[in-house]
Amino acid sequence: MPLRIGDEAPDFTAQTTEGTIKFHEWIGNGWAILFSHPKDFTPVCTTELGYMAGLKPEFDKRQCKIIGLSVDPVSDHEKWAKDIQETQGHAPNYPLIGDSDLQVAKLYDMIHPNASGEAKGRTAQDNATVRSVFVVGPDKKIKLMLTYPMSTGRNFDEVLRVLDSMQLTAKHKVATPVNWKQGQDVIILASVPEEEAKQKFPGGWKAPKPYLRIVPQPK
């Protein structure tokens, strides 16, 4: 069954490079990012996993855990980590799921539910659709889904930007405009009545149109 934003993230138990985890239990009370790649020892994914390792302190500041996945055994992940360290300057400092039986890939609709076999013998092209990013909130609901083609490296700075937006808008009745970055002006939700807006934003706002009420980012 296809997943959509707002659905509960499927729970699972899996082997990782940091031991066995139960996904919802592992997330705890914070946020989480699950990102997948089609095959270990592939060039684009090598750059991605290294970059994500360098960016991890920023996600830590936001109480957001990171976990990677591919349909390869954990033993392959551990060997690949040495190449990532050598070529990217950072080895993965977050768990990597060994989804060699395709269980999680199927649960998250990243691969056809009738796909058969295990990791051995499957090529990166067989797993081309296993290049997704899922952001999961503290309520275990899916907040964001992205799927990239194999030839295009993912922009994890954008994932961090979106996380900032989602955490802000979960706390305040605002939305973030195009290309918004932390600290910039935001928009009062159209669903907020004028009187309530005056209470929540006593400093007032700019309104080039009645439905477009712009305020400084709330603290």
Active site members: 45
Residue pair 96/16 in contact (Cβ under 8 Å)? The answer is yes
The b/e string for 138-147 (b: 16+ C-beta within 10 A; e otherwise) is beeebbbeee
3-class DSSP assignment, residue 4: coil
DSSP 57-116: HHHHHTTEEEEEEESS-HHHHHHHHHHHHHHHS----S-EEE-TT-HHHHHTTSS-TT--
User: The tokens 């796909």 sit on which residue?
Assistant: 115
Identify the three-state secondary structure at position 13: strand
